[in-house]
């Protein structure tokens, strides 16, 4: 008898799988830290996956679009009055845009999120990384606001 035929071919090699920060951590970082924070955490996830070169164009585009949205929101106070009956506060628009960036980030790495859920890999603790990113994101947002409003 040939025992090699009965040996498992596929095995759960958990060392080959990389865990990235959870979608919940990404969403909370986007909500509290703004667009720069979610871009930074997306970049960290890309680095953990070894996709730095592959995701660099998306991250660069996200930064450029973020700067454009910030210029649009902070330069024109009454731009969105035509859409709503009263002006929409700027911080709500920036948070909504950051959550939109989170959606793009999730779509960028959705295959890895599904793989982590399927195999049962827990994401790393996000608090030690996300908390400083939120503070830096808020600082960058404040600096960008002052530069745009000058």
Q: How confident is the model at residue 25 (pLDDT cuts 50, 70, 90)?
A: very high
Q: Report helix, strand or coil for 10.
A: coil
Q: How many residues does the chain have?
A: 150
What digits encode the pLDDT tens for the residues 102-114? 999 999 999 999 9
| Cα 75-35-63 angle, rounded to 5 deg | 80
Is the pTM of the predicted complex or chain greater than 0.85?
Answer: no
Q: Where are the domains of the chain?
A: 19-149
Cα–Cα distance, 108 to 101 (Å, whole number): 10
Q: Which residues contact 55 (CB under 8 A, 6 or more apart)?
A: 42, 43, 46, 108
Spatial distance between the Cα atoms of 35 and 15, rounded to a whole number of angstroms: 32
pLDDT tens digit sequence for 26-78? 999 999 999 999 999 999 999 999 999 999 999 999 999 999 999 888 877 65
């Amino acid at each position: 008898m040939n025992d090699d035929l009965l040996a498992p071919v596929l095995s759960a090699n958990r060392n080959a799988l990389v865990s990235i920060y959870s979608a919940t951590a990404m969403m909370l970082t986007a909500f509290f830290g703004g667009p720069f924070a979610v871009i930074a955490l997306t970049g960290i996830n890309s680095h953990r996956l070894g996709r730095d070169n592959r995701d660099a164009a998306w991250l660069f585009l996200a930064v450029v679009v973020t700067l454009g949205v910030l210029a649009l929101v902070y330069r024109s106070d009454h731009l969105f009055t035509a859409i709503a009956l009263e002006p929409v506060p700027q911080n709500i628009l920036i948070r909504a845009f950051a959550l939109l960036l989170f959606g793009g980030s999730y779509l960028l790495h959705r295959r890895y999120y599904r793989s982590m859920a399927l195999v049962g890999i827990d994401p790393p603790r996000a608090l030690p990384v996300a908390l400083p990113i939120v503070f830096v994101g808020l600082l960058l947002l404040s600096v960008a606001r002052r530069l745009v409003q000058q």
